[in-house]
Chain A
Amino acid sequence: MLGRRLLLTLPTLAGVLVVAFLLLNVVPGDPVSEMVGERADSATIARLRAELHLDDPLPVQFGHYVWGVVRGDLGRSYITGRPIAQDLAERFPKTLELALAAMTLAALCGITLGVLAAVGPGGAFDRLAMLVSYLGVSFPVYWVGLLLILLFAVALQWLPPSGSGGLAYLVLPALTLGMRSIAFLARMTRGAMIDVLRSDFIRTARAKGLSEAAVVGRHAFRNALIPVITVLGLDVGNYLTGSLLTETIFSWPGVGRYVLTAISKRDLPAIQGSILFMSVVFVLVNLLTDLLYAKADPRIAYD
């Protein structure tokens, strides 16, 4: 079953390859122009274009690229000359670290807020939680990130403003990245929990004399998990492909910034390689999310 699902991802990835390739070839801007810098002669530009096969017909260029990918070779960056696979392998652990931190933070805070809010709907805590989640969804990431830096790094000097290193470096970017998830998860969990808490089997559970903690924790929570897992899965997918804004504000050396630099330099193989890599990650995370559904709800089964 897993093998079949994995096979099914191949057409998706092939589609990504084609679309990315075509898009990059219609976008204005010239990689060679970025390679030679501000002052160059036409002879050098023409020679570099020829060496990089940029003047070949598009199908030939695409064929070259696909042939490389099939052999597991993402090519070398036009700008740095480094193998793209190696560049991605160096940066992905940093992105993973940040994504996991943000996700853990989001799951802990978001779900807790949501559950507590659902237990007493309309109460003071509920209103506070919903305020927090409104703010979390509405504030732009960029602005929050800079504000956190100003407060915790410049004014209080408790945390480093940016860069990567130990745990201290992880706090602000993880909070910035996870903020939207916290807000969204809180709302999602609250909604799902309120629905479940109104259903008949909860009344039965209470009637049997189960403690409120058992009712909420064991019976209601598990049934409210499906939408929560969906949201978490989508967010993990997004985080793992790198967050352009958060990585840029916090000088975090991850995949997102790599792509951003590659785009600004029109580093075609680096952009294509990154898109392909991100797509693989995204597809795998979605697959994993589907598998988790089955774990959370035995009624869901794949065959």
Chain B
Amino acid sequence: MRFLQLFAPLALILPAACGESRSGAVLAYYETYDPRSLDPALSTDVPTGEMATLVYDGLTQFDANGNLLPGLSDRWTAERDGRRYVFHLRPGVKFHDGRPFRAEDVRQSFLRVLSPATRGGRAWPLFPIAGAQAFAGGTAPEVAGIDVLGDTAVAFELVEPLAVFPRFLAMPVASIVPTPAPPDLAEHPVGTGPWRLVAWLHDDYLLFAKHPAYWGTAPAADTLSVRIIPEPLTQAAEFEAGRLSVVEIPFSETRKWEAEHPEWLQRKPALRITYVALNNRRGPLRDPRVRQAINHAVNVPEILRTIWGSRGIRARGAIPPTLPGGDTTRAAYDYDPTAAKRLLAAAGYPNGLALRLWRTGTNVALGRVCQAIQADLEKVGIRVEIVVRDASSQREAARKGVADMAILDWWADYPDGDNFLYPLFHSASFGPGGNYAFYSDPVTDSLILTARRTLDDATRTAQYREIDERVFRAAPWLYLWFPVDLWAKHPSVEGWEIPVIFTGQRWTGAQRAP
């Protein structure tokens, strides 16, 4: 205690800075790195998407549980079996600068995202619109498929029927900006969303104020600050010091928080899957029996329990169980080293084989998972060398197909089974598109396309389940688990829940208790 007293004079001089934010009128959130931009056309990552969601609206939007809600369009209809969509626009909406929202803004916003000059890089949610891809490639002067119907509606003609198209339009890249778009939109965004940007000090913080004329339920709080805090342990310290409203608990800290502050914790299954992509076009992994053997050889439930702190639901397919089409009853690959050895012998590897497993250096928890997988595979004669690289190098290797195996996770862009099938398993999505396993099966391809075209939800759900089952049996991955998110919420904060999708939390209901 004497030691602490030495510093007592400091306490008299310095508490001002701590005191002001602790008094608690503001909501404080954080990102791990600075958003790319606040131009929604550049929204290709989570921090940028989350911040764009605060400032802008799309025609549709998601809530924290991933339900599709009306946005700037208050109702929409699918025509011609889902080949054409008509979105009726919400009347009386105003941008932050007072300009009224018009139908032409929708067309101009989408043209802007698609325009090669924007260099957005993530225009694919708009590619289903007829003519969009040609326009983006610079070979067409117009997008024929966008049809402005007077002041009250916009119609989209699609290349082919697409049941999930309204969900595509809830993604940040499809946000509506005013026409003409301000030249400095990236730094000084103007949207119709619940929050308007007040200040942005790069790498330090963003400050938002409530948009009082918001068309929906205006935010309960007046301001929202978003700090940029890269280090997870610092994030936790900021939360414990009362300077953040919520904090995500790192997997390695699960037990500590569960023991010390169970009353602060919230959990929710995420729309995310953790898996090991097995390169289906490379060496022994071309043989499905080898891939099935790997699934039998690794004791996934044990790894999930011991290393992952039981913060996950075992994957028996790629579609999360909280989405229609997800299946928790499907027969999993049992932990069965004997069966694994038998399969390896049948595939022509009675003496085992050697593979390389790529992981990122930053994700320590997944690193431990890799070691456990390595140990389990060793027991059936598969010698695994773990290759540690930074995220960018790992992704490049996986995309180019030079990695045997890569441990990865896949975050949903839109809450629908299609998001866990088309990008991950369709052969048109090889490499950068998301199919890092290079899984290719003409039957699966055609089933996926059929499901995308099916408007009826029940039929589509059944199709999703069938596709997921078919792919699961072919074992393009080592299936691991669907993580369960764990967050701590400050007891003084009300009206916030964990979003299942990163665009699902707009901070409108959140406030500090009086």
B10: interface (CB < 8 Å): yes
Report the Cα distance A37→B44, complex, angstroms: 5
Find chain A residues with CB under 8 A from B399 CB: 33
Per-residue contact bits, chain B 204-229, to A (CB 8 Å; 1 contact, 0 not): 11000000000000000000000111
Find chain A residues with CB under 8 A from B123 CB: 44
Which listed segment binds A: B149-157, B159-167, B237-245?
B237-245
Find chain B residues with CB under 8 A from A171 CB: 10, 14
Report the Cα distance A42→B435, complex, angstroms: 13
Find chain A residues with CB under 8 A from B413 CB: 39
Whether B45 and A159, one on each chain, are in contact in the complex, defined by CB atoms closer than 8 angstroms, is: no
Q: What's the least CB distance linking A259 to chain B, in Å? A: 11
Whether B136 and A44, one on each chain, are in contact in the complex, defined by CB atoms closer than 8 angstroms, is: yes
Whether A87 and B202, one on each chain, are in contact in the complex, defined by CB atoms closer than 8 angstroms, is: yes
Whether A160 and B17, one on each chain, are in contact in the complex, defined by CB atoms closer than 8 angstroms, is: yes
Whether B14 and A36, one on each chain, are in contact in the complex, defined by CB atoms closer than 8 angstroms, is: no
B230: interface (CB < 8 Å): yes
Partner of A251 from the list B230, B397, B434 (CB cut-off 8 Å) is: B230
Q: What's the least CB distance linking B200 to chain A, in Å? A: 11
Whether B124 and A39, one on each chain, are in contact in the complex, defined by CB atoms closer than 8 angstroms, is: yes
Find chain B residues with CB under 8 A from A45 CB: 432
Find chain B residues with CB under 8 A from A161 CB: 234, 237-238, 241, 243
Whether A167 and B14, one on each chain, are in contact in the complex, defined by CB atoms closer than 8 angstroms, is: yes
Whether B122 and A157, one on each chain, are in contact in the complex, defined by CB atoms closer than 8 angstroms, is: no
B201: interface (CB < 8 Å): yes
B423: interface (CB < 8 Å): yes
A20: interface (CB < 8 Å): no
Report the Cα distance A254→B119, complex, angstroms: 27
Which listed segment binds B: A111-119, A131-139, A221-229, A260-268?
A260-268
Partner of A168 from the list B17, B33, B390 (CB cut-off 8 Å) is: B17
Whether B434 and A39, one on each chain, are in contact in the complex, defined by CB atoms closer than 8 angstroms, is: yes
Which listed segment binds A: B34-42, B80-88, B437-445?
B34-42
Whether A264 and B390, one on each chain, are in contact in the complex, defined by CB atoms closer than 8 angstroms, is: yes
Whether A156 and B14, one on each chain, are in contact in the complex, defined by CB atoms closer than 8 angstroms, is: no
Find chain A residues with CB under 8 A from B230 CB: 248, 251, 257
Find chain B residues with CB under 8 A from A36 CB: 44, 121-122, 432
Q: What's the least CB distance linking B227 to chain A, in Å? A: 6
Q: What's the least CB distance linking A213 to chain B, in Å? A: 27
Whether B17 and A158, one on each chain, are in contact in the complex, defined by CB atoms closer than 8 angstroms, is: no
Q: What's the least CB distance linking A265 to chain B, in Å? A: 7
Q: What's the least CB distance linking B419 to chain A, in Å? A: 9
B396: interface (CB < 8 Å): yes
User: Interface size on B (CB < 8 Å)?
Assistant: 65
Whether B234 and A249, one on each chain, are in contact in the complex, defined by CB atoms closer than 8 angstroms, is: yes
Per-residue contact bits, chain A 81-108, to B (CB 8 Å; 1 contact, 0 not): 1100001001100000000000000000
Whether B204 and A164, one on each chain, are in contact in the complex, defined by CB atoms closer than 8 angstroms, is: yes
Among B241, B393, B434: residue with most chain A CB under 10 A: B241
A122: interface (CB < 8 Å): no
Find chain A residues with CB under 8 A from B42 CB: 80-81
A72: interface (CB < 8 Å): no
Per-residue contact bits, chain A 206-226, to B (CB 8 Å; 1 contact, 0 not): 000000000000000000000
B260: interface (CB < 8 Å): no
A41: interface (CB < 8 Å): yes
Find chain A residues with CB under 8 A from B396 CB: 28-30, 33
Find chain B residues with CB under 8 A from A257 CB: 203, 230
Whether A30 and B392, one on each chain, are in contact in the complex, defined by CB atoms closer than 8 angstroms, is: yes
Find chain B residues with CB under 8 A from A294 CB: none
Report the Cα distance A153→B237, complex, angstroms: 8
A146: interface (CB < 8 Å): yes
Report the Cα distance A289→B451, complex, angstroms: 70
Per-residue contact bits, chain A 145-173, to B (CB 8 Å; 1 contact, 0 not): 01001101110111111111111110100
Find chain B residues with CB under 8 A from A258 CB: 203
Whether B432 and A41, one on each chain, are in contact in the complex, defined by CB atoms closer than 8 angstroms, is: yes
Whether B137 and A157, one on each chain, are in contact in the complex, defined by CB atoms closer than 8 angstroms, is: no
Whether B234 and A47, one on each chain, are in contact in the complex, defined by CB atoms closer than 8 angstroms, is: no
Report the Cα distance A156→B42, complex, angstroms: 42
Whether B11 and A33, one on each chain, are in contact in the complex, defined by CB atoms closer than 8 angstroms, is: no
A275: interface (CB < 8 Å): no
Whether B124 and A41, one on each chain, are in contact in the complex, defined by CB atoms closer than 8 angstroms, is: yes
Within 8 A of A (CB), among B5-36: 7, 10-11, 14-18, 21-22, 33-34, 36
**Chain A residues close to B by CB (< 8 Å):** 27-30, 32-45, 47-48, 51, 79-82, 87, 90-91, 146, 149-150, 152-154, 156-169, 171, 248-251, 253-254, 257-258, 261, 264-266
- List 8 A-B pairs, Cβ < 8 Å: A45-B432, A48-B119, A80-B36, A156-B11, A162-B237, A169-B17, A249-B233, A251-B227
**A-B pairs, 6 with minimum CB distance:** A37-B44, A29-B392, A253-B203, A36-B121, A168-B17, A253-B204
Add 11 more A-B contacts to A28-B392, A47-B138 (CB < 8 A): A28-B397, A29-B395, A29-B396, A33-B392, A37-B44, A41-B432, A80-B34, A157-B241, A163-B238, A166-B17, A261-B34
